Amino acid sequence: MSQPDRANRLLGLLPPHAQSRAAAFAEAGGLVTEVHNPRVLVGLLPSAARGFLLQRGKQGVPTLMQASHQAHFDWSYSSDQQEMRELYRRAKQNQWDAEVALDWSVDVDPLNPERPILPYEFFAFERFAKYGPPLPRGSREELTLRADLATWMLSQFLHGEQGALLASAQVTESVQWMDGKFYGATQVMDEARHVEVFHRYLSTKLGKLYDVNDNLFVIIDALMVDSRWDMKFLGMQIMIEGLALGAFGLLYRMTEEPLLKNLLRYVIQDEARHVHYGVIALREHYRTALSERELRERQDWAFEVALLMRNRFMAHEIYEEHYAHLMSRAEWNQSVQESPGMSEFRHTMFERLVPNLAYIGLLDERMKQHYSDAGLLRYAGGKDASQLTGEQMLSELEARGRGDLAAAAE
């Protein structure tokens, strides 16, 4: 028996409460083996302790995080960054009111096989059949599992949006450009609206909300307490927004539920602007204000966090709810990792993320080898956020349609 199998068997002998504590320690331990750069690891450890071990995201309201950044005032009020001023102008014109723009009277039944939130092929349940009773397509159990998975994804979107709301407010205080502050204020409004719509959808249409995932909590915590504005920016505007855009884009293509599709159409257009703002601000900052050592630190951090995002969002809350008594976590991770939906998700995410990292200067010759070893360098030639508007992004997604999920499985 291999070591992970033995560990899983031992874990299975523990009472349920102890099992989830042990699993939390295993998650934290996993981080230690997965992050290869020691400086990045040391930087993440306090957040990992709060997220995995203390379970700060799951201890009820409120969760308090200690912010330590500097607020930057400018009493001259001069316009100092033309591209940000232009984004500010566009953002003002493209504000929307969720009360008016979306038809909330639509009846949503997450178990309706005619208008599923996620297609059957997303999860490829055939892979799970060997671990438990078969889940025939369209059976109540299969539809419930699929609906729960969709609800889990949307719950993480909501929690991520709250992170974006608070981080964009912090960044609005900290950036040195007056035009950046103006633009940032529109983003704070956008993120509030995103929290509003995802929460309303979850509470009034799906009737269920999952806790924040520990891995997401760790990344949000790390950004909120970091005093350097560009790290908040890199983490939130490039990494988490990149992850979100990948997930929103995929769900937009896949879902047959019209209210959600329309909601995502609006959100994607806002998010495309946010990432655009992120890449212009960081490109300028990284070109002009950082030492070689500081730039290397950002390069290593972005690479490690990109891999964590790829490897760790495994819907463990769904595993614990539906499958913990049937298979080990390692088996679950593998099944999820190999599912066509997750494979397509990774593709959509890196297609956006890697060109943005290249644009801001985090993909130099040294880093290319790392990305190549991780199988990610093939995404480097794509369009970055400064070349792609929300409308273009949406038409690309529409042209791609649902595609062939099964063929997308790696």
Binding site for Fe ion (CB under 5 A): 161, 164, 191, 194, 241, 271, 274
Least distance from Fe ion to the Cβ atom of residue 171, Å:
11
Fill in the amino acid letter for 300: D
For residues 206 and 245, which CB has a smaller minimum distance to Fe ion in the complex? 245
- Distance CA(300)–CA(363), nearest Å, equals 10
* Whole-angstrom distance, CA of residue 244 vs CA of residue 389: 16
Give the nearer residue to Fe ion in terms of CB position, either 266 or 319: 266
* Nearest-approach distance from CB 66 to Fe ion, in angstroms: 23
d(C-alpha 242, C-alpha 30), whole Å: 23
Of 191 and 384, which CB lies nearer to Fe ion in the complex structure?
A: 191
Q: How far is the CB of 191 from Fe ion (least distance, A)?
A: 5
The CB-of-27 to Fe ion minimum distance in angstroms stands at 26
CA distance from start to end of the chain: 27
**Token pair for 53:** 């071990």
CB 187 → Fe ion: shortest distance, Å? 6
- Between helix 390-400 and helix 258-288 the angle, nearest 10°, is 130
Nearer to Fe ion, 245 or 327 (CB): 245
Among the listed residues 158, 348, 392, 357, the one whose alpha carbon sits nearest the alpha carbon of residue 249: 348
- The least distance separating Fe ion from the CB of residue 268, rounded to whole angstroms, comes to 10
Residue carrying the six token digits 């991770």: 333
Dist CA 311 CA 293 (whole Å): 27
Structure token pair of residue 212:
């924040």
- Nearest residue (CB) to Fe ion, 30 versus 355: 355
Using the minimum distance from each CB to Fe ion, give the nearer residue, 148 or 241.
Answer: 241
Q: Which is nearer to Fe ion, 97 or 292 (CB)?
A: 97
Minimum separation from the CB atom of position 236 to Fe ion (A): 8
What is the C-alpha separation between 264 and 25, in angstroms, rounded? 35
Q: Is 136 exposed, middle or buried (0-12, 13-18, 19+ CB in 10 A)?
A: exposed
- Cα(218)–Cα(347) distance, integer angstroms: 23
